[in-house]
Amino acid sequence: MPIRKLRIVDFSTHMSGPLASQLLIQLGAEVVKVENPRVGDGNRGMLPMIHGVGMFHHALSSGVRSVIVDRRSSDWPRIVVAAAKWADVVIVGSRPSDAVRRGLDFASLTKVNPELVYCAISGYGEAGPWQNIPAHGLNADAFAGLVPVHKVDGRIATIPSYQSIGPPLAGVFAALGILAAVRERDQGAGARYVHSSLWEAAMWFSWRNLATQANLGEPWPAYRDLGSRSATYCTADDRVLLICPIEKHFWDRFCDLAGLPREWKTVGDWSISGMYLGAGPEEAEERRVIQMRIKERPLAAWIAALTAAEIPFAPVLTIAEALASEHAAANGVMRTGRYKGHDVSIPSAPVRVVDAPGLGVVREELPPPPGLGEHTAEVLAEWGVADPPDRAGLDHRAGSGAGC
């Protein structure tokens, strides 16, 4: 029996809300994005550009339909009402006071549609002294104690490899909350309110540190300090290899493979958790000898040997190497679409819902990201707003008033 797609209207901008929408599109939802008539959701011009359009727009808006309407237009209230009636879910990224002013608050929209799932995404949550501070980029991560900095040419800067955690993770949690809320609604619960914030998501990312700090007054141990058997070593071709033979049977195999002293097989206590990381008095000597052995072979040889021996390990790859791997292609990590005659690849959602194992590994092509307002007439007709009198309020070339 055909399954009706989940209908989502996304009023949000930038990363978190659009990322939630994109995840749900890839799980079968239908998304209409209501955008500012001049700059859209802010992602079209966000660097870097791919074939003249921002990477964020390709990655987060492929498969959506775009409607433009100025929030100062006389048509804004009735279009918002029509959107709420059509939707199963609305996503709003405004501060609560702004949402009320724009008629996008929970009370207003659920009055129109008592079965609506309403998802609000905020910067810092709905309580506390930080709740009304605007949030962009790394702001929420910095408030969550995540942003690593160092000195460069006399100035303080974030380390080059750091990318924001709270904004994308808030989108993931928003999508998760939406799906839970839809199930509750479908079981008769009525309208549901879902909230996710950038800061709370950034805090949750550190769940190991939070639990350890709150209970023991110290952070979770650093990976580099776990022990000799969960550690990185340098290979003959100066690549980095991470080994993890921490269960007894893995450690026995690794001792044989690396030519370690036979008596080392009995060193350790596996009775508590079934794992031993090599953090006892033997650690320094084990690290020294293991490094000597690892240095005897290049990375490719270790990959082959450890794979054959079924010992947990990983080469420390760059993102480019991981993306170019046969494994990434086999698992459909990227999905390809067309944009103005060009192939464009965007990341696939790392979850599949299919009829049986092995299906859907190669993802279907998504429609390209839309032009600004490309689907306005089509969508408004679906919503019963076929002939809005204030067309200037819908035209991205019109006026200079603030958009939604």
Do 345 and 334 touch, CB atoms closer than 8 A? yes
Rounded distance between C-alpha atoms, residue 192 and residue 33, angstroms: 20
**Which pLDDT score is estimated for 364?**
86
**Which pLDDT score is estimated for 197?**
97
Q: What is the DSSP letter of 244?
A: -
**Cα pseudo-dihedral 292, 294, 298, 299, rounded to 10:** -150
DSSP H or E segment with residue 196: strand 192-197
Rounded distance between C-alpha atoms, residue 32 and residue 80, angstroms: 12
Closest CA to 382 of 30, 25, 21, 27: 30
Condensed to tens digits (0 to 9), the pLDDT of residues 107-137 reads 999 999 999 999 999 999 999 999 999 999 9
Does residue 402 surpass a pLDDT of 50?
A: no
Do 47 and 4 touch, CB atoms closer than 8 A? no
Does residue 393 surpass a pLDDT of 90?
A: no
User: Taking the mean position of all CA atoms in its chain, how far away is CA 85?
Assistant: 29
Condensed to tens digits (0 to 9), the pLDDT of residues 263-312 reads 999 999 999 999 999 999 999 999 999 999 999 999 999 999 999 999 99
Rounded distance between C-alpha atoms, residue 397 and residue 325, angstroms: 45
φ, ψ of residue 43 to 5 degrees: the values are: -95, -20
In the chain, the domains with their CATH numbers are: 7-206+331-393 (3.40.50.10540), 223-323 (3.30.1540.10)
Rounded distance between C-alpha atoms, residue 23 and residue 43, angstroms: 16
Please report which confidence band the pLDDT of residue 396 belongs to, taking 50, 70 and 90 as the band edges: very low
Q: What is the DSSP letter of 289?
A: H
Condensed to tens digits (0 to 9), the pLDDT of residues 334-367 reads 999 999 999 999 999 999 999 999 988 888 899 9
Closest CA to 121 of 98, 143, 103, 102: 98
Rounded distance between C-alpha atoms, residue 400 and residue 73, angstroms: 11
Longest dimension (CA), the chain: 86
Best-predicted range by mean pLDDT among 179-183, 333-337, 390-394?
A: 179-183
The residue behind tokens 């609506």 is 116
**Cα pseudo-dihedral 368, 372, 378, 380, rounded to 10:** 140
